[in-house]
Structure 1
Amino acid sequence: MRKLSIDLPGKNYEIFIQKGLFEQIGLNIRNIYKGKKIAVVTDDKVYRIYGDRMKKNLIDSGYLVKFIIIKNGEKSKNINVLQDIYSGFLDFNLTRKDIILTFGGGVVGDLGGFAAATFLRGIPFIQIPTTLLSQIDSSIGGKVGIDLERGKNLIGSFYHPKAVFVDPEVLMSLEKRVFNDGLSECIKYGCIKSKELFLKLENYKSDKELYEDIDYVIYKCCTIKKEFVEEDEKDTGKRMILNFGHTIGHAIETYFNYSKYTHGEAVAIGMYLITKNSERNKETEKGTSDKIKNLLIKYNLPYTFEKIDTNKIVQTISLDKKCIENSINIILIRNIGESYIKKIKKDQVFNYITDN
Structure 2
Amino acid sequence: MKFVDEAVITIQSGDGGPGCTSFRRERFIERGGPDGGDGGDGGHVILKVDPGKRTLYDLHRQKMHRAQNGAQGMGRQKHGKNGNPCYINLPAGTLVRDADTDQTIVDLTREGDEYIIAEGGKGGRGNKRFATSTNRAPRYSQPGLPGVERKLKLELRLLADVGIVGLPNAGKSTLIAAMSAARPKIGAYPFTTLTPTLGMVTPPFGEPFAVADIPGLIKGAHQGTGLGIKFLKHIERTGILIHLIDAGAIDPQEPLADFTVVNQELTLYSRSLADKTRIIVLNKIDLAGTDHRVASFCRAVPDLEVHTISAAAGQGVDKLIQLLASRLQKE
Q: Which structure: larger Rg?
A: 2
TM-score using structure 1 length: 0.27
TM-score using structure 2 length: 0.28
Query: Between Structure 1 and Structure 2, which shows a larger proportion of helix residues?
Result: 1
